Structures are given as C-alpha cells and as structure tokens.
Structure 1
Amino acid sequence: MTPVNDLAGLNELLTPEERAVGASVRQLCAERIDPYVGEWFEQGDIPRIRELTKELGALGVLGMHLEGYGCAGMSATEYGIACLELEASDSGVRSLVSVQGSLAMFALWRYGSEEQKQRWLPAMAAGDAIGCFGLTEPDAGSDPASMRTKARRDGTDWILDGRKMWITNGSVADVAIVWAQTEDGVRGFVVPTDTPGFSAPLIKHKLSLRASITSELVLDGVRLPADAMLPEVRGLKGPLGCLNEARYGIVWGAMGAARTCLEAAIEYAGQRTQFGRPIAAFQLTQQKLVDMTLEYTKGVLLALHLGRRKDAGSLRPEQVSLGKLNNVREALDICRTARTVLGANGISLEFPVIRHMNNLESVLTYEGTVEMHTLVLGQALTGHAAFR
C-alpha cells in the first residue's frame, strides 16, 4: 500500500504476511484489471465478469475473512489491505468483492443454516457462484425499517413481493440475499435467482461505478420453501450487521482510490512542463501534493487502527462510521485535487483520476450516507439520537 513516496513509512507497520497479501492482490490487478478498467468504465460493463470472479476466488479474496467452507480465514487487516489494492484499480471491482464476501457470504456465514452454508459458501468462495444483497429499495434507503418488500406464508412456503434498488452484482448473481417484512419482523431469505418471479433488470445511464453491474431486483410472487429463510437472525440487526462488515472494507478501499490519484498527480506534475519547468517545481502544486499525502497517510493509519481493533474483537460500529465518513470524504477531496493538478487531462480516461473521482461520489453515499454516519457519531458523542 505504498504510494510513490512513503513519507510516513506505512509499510513498516505491516507484518510480512500482510505485505504479501497486498502484493498478491496488486499483481492480479496490474495484470487483469488495470489495463482494461478504463475501457470497462467507458462501456459501462465488466466483460467476462464470471471469469474475473473465478480469478478473484482462486486468489482467495472472496469471503477471505470468513472461516471454513472454502474461505481463506484471513485477518480483518489482511482483508482491508486487499480492499485497498482492489479499489486502487477501481471502486466497482472492490464493490464486487465486498458485496460477495461482506454482504452475501457474510449473511449466510453468520445467520444461515448449515444446509444453506454448505449449498452456497464453497461455490461463492471459489467464484463459481456470484451473490448479491437486496436491502435498499426505491423509497427506503437510509431508513430500511420502511421497506415495502414483504414475505407472507402460504402453507409451509414463503411468497415474496417487492422491489430492491441499486443492487451490485444483481443481474449476474446466482443467489440473492433478500430482506423482507414478515408478520414476525424483518427476515432474510436466500433466493436462487432462477426462481420463477425473480428478475434483475440492469440499471443504465450511470456516470459513477460504471465498471460495476448495478441492478434492480424485482420479486413478483417469488415462492420459496420454508428453509429459504435465514434462521439465526430476526429484525434489522441482521442486514445492519452485514452492512457494518462492508463499511469496514470501504474504510480501506477508499484509500486505494486516493493512492492511485495521488500517484498519478505526482507523476504528472514531474513530467508536465510549463513556463520552462515541471509544474512539480511550483509552490502551489507542491502544496497540493503535500496536502493530499497528509490526508492519505492519516486515512491509512485510521484504517489500520480499525483493522487491528477488529482483529482484536473490540471494533465498535460507531468506529466504523468514523472511518467510513472520514476516509471516503478525504479520498474524494484527494481525487478532486489531483484532477486540478492534471488540468484538462484530469477529465480524460487516459488517466485514472476522473474515474476514481466519479466512483467515489457513489461510495460517499452507499453503505450509509454522510448524514447518517454523522448522526451515528453525534449520538456516540452526546448520547442523543437525532435521526428523526
């Protein structure tokens, strides 16, 4: 996770095993993602996504922080470093991995029956099956308690009706974890995507996360057997627990996008000549590069601290909110500043900056908006809930 100039010596804080994880993911990204991702972004697609998912599975990053069922069983810090390297290539690729491992697989691993785990987790860890996570709805984003998707009993079966929105992996998924209102509160359901009544139309016309499959989920009388329900959780603590896992990965991932833009700005400033000298030799450009490096360094230190806490079993949800709020906001500012260093070239997909900048506009919103994380921290500081 070293930028062009590791002024703070961040790599020295990592174990050899952690550095090896970063190097392995960085190599795969350099060979299989970086040469093509600008074109994927421009096309608004990831061609051969199943092939890429299998390569990620073979590397061991899908559900890598989970134990058993073909998962790698690595530490939270190692998972975070992998997220940083993946998002250094593109937020959409990190989203693919996060939704697979920290949302769909984690829900099965934490709340599923043994039969559900055996059916899906080994295939998902290998990349042979792709998962998605259906919580957000057209009218229920930050307020999931107001979801309208319902599951009702019909004999021993369940019937699901509703809509989910902004679902990563939806159109290519083999299984969806869908959360719905029941007479017994919010429950999760394991929905094979070939079930009659299930469809996942692709969402188009995005200007962010274009190298990512984003879909609507439509559930129109989807009939499921009784054992499709996740048995080990009831209420919103189920989906919120999964979201906390995914938010942790974002704390790291956002710094990957920031690192790539910082590297691009430093390299460009050294090569671009104006008024007879490289723009890196001008004070205002140096100030931008220094400020970006400061915020990147602080963001990685915060991510590493939270990773160590998570590995120690002492990480609290509000601390994840602290990391997500700070790191995505600062990463976005780094990308915007890098764009100014590159001038007009900063808007070209020949360089990575505008792509990362656009992607982070989505990352700023998903897995909890700035407003929601601000209120989580406000409640932790004051003891007063100001959500309503």
Structure 2
Amino acid sequence: MTTLFILVIIALLLLFGVTDIRRQFITKPVFSFFTKVLPPLSQTEREAMEAGTVWWDGELFSGRPDWQQLHAMPAPELTGEERAFLENQVTTLLRMLDDHQTVQQDKDLPKAVWDYLKQERFFSMIIPRAYGGLEFSALAASTIVAQIASRSLTAAITVMVPNSLGPGELLSHYGTEEQKQRWLPGLADGTEVPCFALTGPEAGSDAGAIPDSGVVCMGEYQGEEVLGLKLNWDKRYITLAPVATVLGLAFKMRDPDGLLGDKREIGITCALIPANHPGVELGHRHNPLNMAFMNGTTRGRDVFIPMDWIIGGPDYAGRGWRMLVECLSAGRGISLPALATSAGHLATRTTSAYCGVRQQFGVNIGQFEGVQEALARIVGNTYLLEAARKMTVGAIDMKQKPSVVTAIAKYHMTELGRAIINDAMDIHGGKGIQLGPKNYLGHQYMAQPVSITVEGANILTRNLMIFGQGATRCHPYVLSEMEAVAMEDKEQALKVFDGLLLSHMIHGARNALVSLSSALTGSRLNSAPVAGDTARHYRDLGRLSANLALMSDLAMATLGGSLKQKEMISARLGDVLSQLYLASSVLRHYEAEGRQQSDLPLVHYSVARCTHLAAEAMEEVIRNFPSLPARWLAKVLIFPVGNHFHGPSDELAQRVCATVAQPGVLRERLTHLCPMPEGLQDGISEVESAFLALHKQQPQMKKIKQAMRQGTLAKQAITPEVIDRAREEQVLTESEAKDLLDAWTLRTAAIEVDEFATL
C-alpha cells in the first residue's frame, strides 16, 4: 500500500510538475474544452465587461479576502464646504417643502422651490468648479439627496437626475472643450435643465437593443450644407423631459453611404440636442405611481443635427455604450442607494418614535415581540444600508468605477429600502395608509418601485449582471484565460493558458480545502484581522468567500456558455457575492466609526443576516445544480454536515430594538439622514416631538403605575382622565400633571390621521 501511494504521488508530480507532460495531457484538452464552452460575448457585453474597475469585489471572489486592505480604505468624509451646504442650503430647502401639497394637489414643485434649486446650484454637484459647478464628492451628493428624500421624494429625484447619468456627467467626462464651455455653465446655474433619453418602448433594460437611429448624411444647418445625422427616436420614462431645455440622446449610428469610411454600422452614440431644435418633441407627462416629479416622453422624426453635436465630437461616434456603462457604473452607486438609505433613516426615526407613543392594551406597542421583530429588521437593515452607502460612495470618491459593486448596491439596497418601508407600514397600521400632511410613509411606499425599476430593472440586475459580470471580471483567472484562448498565435496562447491553468488549479484546490476544513471546524481555523467581538464574522466571511470561489469554478467548468441561460443559478451565486459585500461594508463601517460598543448589536444583527442569506443562497445553488456529480462534490466540500448559518436570534433582535427605544446619540447617528431642523412643522416633527416629550415624562408615568399597583389608582391605560385623577390623589404634583398632560396632547396629535371634507 505504501509503495502504491508513493507511485501515485510520483505520477501526480510528473503529470503536473513536468511542463511538457502537463501541456500534453492536461492543458491541451482543457484548452480545447475552454474554446468550446466559453460563452460568446456580444460587442455590448464585451464593452460592459471591460467598463469600470475591479475593487473589493475581486477580493471577495478570490476566496481569500485581504481584510487589511478593507481596513486600509479611507473613510469618506464631508468637506467643510459640503457640511455648510447641508446645514444651510439643504436645511432651507427642507423648510420650503410640503410634500402633500406637491404630490396630491399641485403635481409639481412650487416655483419658489424650482428657483431656489437653480439659484443655489443643486443641479451642479458633479460639474467642475471651472464651469460654475459645486464639484462635490460622491458622499456629499449622496447625503444631500438622502436628506431631501426624507421630506420629499419629488424634490430628491428632481435634484438627483441632473447629478446622475445624463448630459452633465457625460460632458464632464467625455465632452469636447467647446461643448463644455457651451453647456456646463448653463447646467450649473439652472439656466439649462437636462434630461437623458435612453429607454424606449422596445428597449428598456436591454439598452443595447435601442431601435432609435442616426443616419450619417448631408443636411442644412444655419444655412449651410454640412455633414451630420438624421435622427429618429421614440423614448419614454424620461425624467425631467417635460421641462428640459437640453436633451441627451442615445441612438444607433449608421453610415450606409460610407461618408465616414468603410464601416456601415457604427454603434451606439450619444448626442446633445437643444430642446427647441426643429423636430424635437417633448411629449406629455407620465404619472409614475402618482408621484409629482417630471417624467415623460420625447420623440423626433427626421431631425438633422451637425456631427459635432455628438458628445465628445465625431471621434466618439459609436462609443456611446461604453460611455453610458462607465458613467452608470458610478452613478447607480450614488443616487438610488441614497434614496433607499434615506427611507431607512426615515423609517427608523419615525417608527421607533411611533412605537414609543402608540399604545394598545395599555402598553406601548414597542413592547410587543411581534412589533419588535419588524422594528429590529428596520433598524438592522438601516445600519446595513448606511454602511453600504458609505463604502460604495467611498470607492467612487477614490476614483474607482466598480461596476459589479454598484450593481450590488443598486439591487440589494433598493430592495432593502422596499422591505424597510413595508415593515414600517405594518407597524404604523392605519396611520400609514391614510394620506395627508401627517402621513410620512405613504409617498415613500408608493415610490419604492420607482427605484426598483430605473437604471436597470432589479430582476435583470440580479439575474444577469451581478454574477454574470462578476464571475468573469472579478475572478482572478477566468478573464485572462478567455483572452488567452482568443489569441491568434495558438502556440503562444497555449503557453499563456498553461501558466494560468496551473495557477487556477492551485486556486481551486486551496478553496476546496478551505471550504471543507471550515465546514468541519465551524470556521475556527480561518484568520481574522481583529480580536474580540467581530473576529468570528471575518472567519465566516472567509469561509463563504472560499465557497463562492469554489462553486463559481464548478459552475463555469460544468455549464460553460449555458451558465448565461441558467439565470436562477447565476442570481443565487450573485446573492452570495452581494451578501459578502454588504457584510464587509458593515465590518468596515464599525471599524471606521471607532468600534462603538453601542453599535455591536447592530453589527451582529446585520452580519448574521448577511451570512444566513449567503449560505441559504449557496445551499439553493447546490440543491438545484444541473450536474449531479458537481452537486454531490459541492455538498461534500461546502456543507458536509449541513448548513449551520442562522439568522439573528430573538434576543439579538430585542437588543437592536433597545438601541432606538429612547433618545440618544446612537439613535441620532442611525437617523441623521432624516434631520430635524428647528421650526419645521410636519408629521415627522410631530411624532418625534411627542416621543421626546413622553420620554421626559417617564418618571411621572412610573409614579402612576406604582400607584396602580398599590391600589391608589385603578389599573387601566394612562389617559388624561387618569392623569387628572393622579393629581387629585397627589400621586403627581400640579406641575408634573401639567407637563404630562402637555406631552399627552403631543402624543394625541402624533397618532391622529388626516381627514378631509371631500377628495
């Protein structure tokens, strides 16, 4: 037996260690297999794959994340100028907003608000200072949009769009100097209002399939015959289109007569067109779930524009898809996650307050475990959203364009925002569904599908983009192997591929070993960059990272090109990567905040949720995997003794609720994107004031309950009549009774709902 074992070892060493033998018996067959099974990439897929940068997502895909790299990332911080803008201009704007009036009656922002937004350059946060813009950081843009969204999603979306994917961003990155001088100052001061027309009836999430065309031809412009484009388009869902003065347009450019050269199909191109240009039609408004932000259609038939209206000039003809993907990879990590995080801060502030003022069966509803379960999800998910928001915008401010990470942020953060608002609505009950000035949740509830739908539908983002792009782009070897297979010199290709394949096999073997050992030891042998309360989370994430790397290799090796069609498998593998990213964000946020001990329940809750969901997704991948041998191998290596990742415990959920059960520094940090400016009279201020007032009266309420236990007062819910009786029985002094009655008046106002004589 020993001799046989030695012979096997020698054979393996010869097979893998001798280059010529390895290439002949391993590399060549695998090379041939790769050539057959690697999925073909369309031009738009290739451009999307190559756009942006690989960042922390690459570490998570590696199977062995470098936690020191995570901790070394600088925490994003607002500048003094950005803080001043929030304290002054944003606070002033919040006082000007009346969301009920805007949405239910006027169907538009007041003229005074439009004027203020333009005057204070809210539309210029991404425009360089040289052209009159604010040139704020991604963190500032995210924070500004989020704070506005806490009071009016209509105003937030109106501010968000010019500072996201559109003319301002495209011009700043790709425009000619002449185009920048012509348009950016007007966009900065609000003289020009932009929109960007990409989506049409036949091309939504599949933007590469747009039928809108631009044909190279000669035409008349300003009395002269010039080379240009004849455009035809039909677009819808275009935010700000009804009020736009300048239209960014994406179309497919063709040159059937060869006026530019031999190439007939030039590709997706972006141009900038004045809204008053002959033939441009800005249509009527849509009604996006009864929200009041400007959104509508634009069409054009046989509209001629000169060639230099292409963004970036004629040299950028056909490069529009790459431009859009690169800008979108950054932009989708700012605006929509900001709206979702704002929803979390709003829900945490108001729902925790409502739980402290609303009573049923004589006790605050926050004491019921059913309510605590939902409130814990709200608070824990809000902490998670804030961590992911800061980590993602921090990457953008570091000049990263992490397309996979921002796709994760877009999908998972907007879905979390929706879940948070649903939980908040459940806790508020009837108060949440009766619209009016007192209702701070209704418009948020109606608007959540807007974020789910725009900048790539969430179903597409989850099922096709996150893992579909991440598996190739973030994997340490696959993209290089694909490039090697595509080399024209096959002899050289085989040499390059051989080196990559050997490294890939070592990589796979290491991940298989880590996966199995981690499963058998409960991750105890894995390394962690810290000691103490959070060390176990790093060990678990290291295990799940190795699981993801191993399962990705198995999926690509056995399914090959058909993996693109296995969307359910792809989506679940993407979920594993996403939960790893979200959990990493939480751990980094905890470190960046100085390891606040009061945050630990939130950290444990959030990471436990993420690891549970990641393991659950991995378990579903294995259970549904088409290849039976691969399925059994994965089961043995990843879950040999079953899946033991559990979600947060009931006790932990109650500890999370306790963090917001009373006013304090932690609650303010958790809700800072829902600010409370002095003098602001709205439903949020109303419930917050009642919560703060009743908290101050806790000693008085304890006196009443003690008197009830002693028999001095009858046992019943505290009411104004009971308070008067307590004063008469000298349980409370005159002053104490008055203060408690005043607080009870605020409480009554906070739980009231609006009523109308007619609708």
Could you tell me the TM-score, scaled by structure 2's length?
0.47
Between the aligned residues of both structures, percent identity stands at 22
Residue identity matched to 1:80: S
Distance 1:226 1:14, change over 3 A: closer
> Is 1:310 paired with 2:373?
no
Contact 2:468 2:564 in 1 (8 A): yes
> Counterparts of 2:397 and 2:447 in 1: how far apart (Å)?
29
Residue 99 of structure 1 deviates from its aligned partner by 1.9
Distance 1:111 1:381, change over 3 A: closer
The residue that corresponds to 2:134 in the other structure is 72
> Counterparts of 1:15 and 1:201 in 2: how far apart (Å)?
40
> Counterparts of 1:381 and 1:229 in 2: how far apart (Å)?
31
One of 298, 302, 305 as aligned partner of 1:221: 302
One of 35, 41, 44 as aligned partner of 2:103: 41
CA offsets 1:222-278 (integer angstroms, 9 cap, x no match): 222222111263141122233334312212222112222332222222222221222
The residue that corresponds to 2:564 in the other structure is 386
Q: Which secondary structure does the structure 2 equivalent of 1:154 belong to?
A: strand
CA offsets 1:41-100 (integer angstroms, 9 cap, x no match): 224721445x43442243343231332311112212112211211222333322222221
One of 239, 254, 275 as aligned partner of 2:361: 275
Residue identity matched to 2:228: D
Residue 174 of structure 1 deviates from its aligned partner by 0.3
Distance 1:347 1:257, change over 3 A: same
The residue that corresponds to 1:200 in the other structure is 282
The residue that corresponds to 1:180 in the other structure is 251
The residue that corresponds to 1:30 in the other structure is 94
**Going by fraction, where is strand more abundant, 1 or 2?**
1
One of 454, 457, 468 as aligned partner of 1:369: 457
Q: Which secondary structure does the structure 2 equivalent of 1:364 belong to?
A: helix
CA offsets 1:258-306 (integer angstroms, 9 cap, x no match): 2223322222222222212222232222332222011011111111011
Distance 1:192 1:381, change over 3 A: closer
> Counterparts of 1:46 and 1:363 in 2: how far apart (Å)?
19
> Counterparts of 1:366 and 1:37 in 2: how far apart (Å)?
22
The residue that corresponds to 2:332 in the other structure is 247
> Counterparts of 1:217 and 1:240 in 2: how far apart (Å)?
22
Residue 338 of structure 1 deviates from its aligned partner by 0.6
> Counterparts of 1:58 and 1:191 in 2: how far apart (Å)?
24
Residue 114 of structure 1 deviates from its aligned partner by 1.7
> Counterparts of 2:303 and 2:379 in 1: how far apart (Å)?
51
The residue that corresponds to 1:95 in the other structure is 157
**Going by fraction, where is helix more abundant, 1 or 2?**
2
Of structures 1 and 2, the one with the larger relative CO (CA 8 A, separation 6+) is: 1
Of 304-313 and 272-281, deviating more is 272-281
Contact 1:329 1:364 in 2 (8 A): yes
* Structure 2 gap ranges (5+): 1-74, 219-226, 255-265, 473-555, 557-562, 568-759
> Counterparts of 1:223 and 1:201 in 2: how far apart (Å)?
19
Residue 380 of structure 1 deviates from its aligned partner by 4.3
> Counterparts of 1:171 and 1:204 in 2: how far apart (Å)?
9
Distance 1:126 1:181, change over 3 A: same
Matches within 5 A, 1:104-183: 104-155=167-218, 156-183=227-254
Matches within 5 A, 1:214-363: 214-230=295-311, 231=313, 233=316, 234-249=319-334, 250-350=336-436, 351-363=439-451
Q: Which secondary structure does the structure 2 equivalent of 1:199 belong to?
A: strand
> Counterparts of 1:366 and 1:277 in 2: how far apart (Å)?
42
Contact 1:99 1:246 in 2 (8 A): no
> Is 1:190 paired with 2:272?
yes
Number of matched pairs: 373
* Structure 1 gap ranges (5+): 1-11
**RMSD, matched Cα:** 2.3
Residue identity matched to 2:183: W
Of 75-84 and 264-273, deviating more is 264-273
Of 53-62 and 69-78, deviating more is 53-62
The residue that corresponds to 1:7 in the other structure is none
> Counterparts of 1:29 and 1:261 in 2: how far apart (Å)?
21
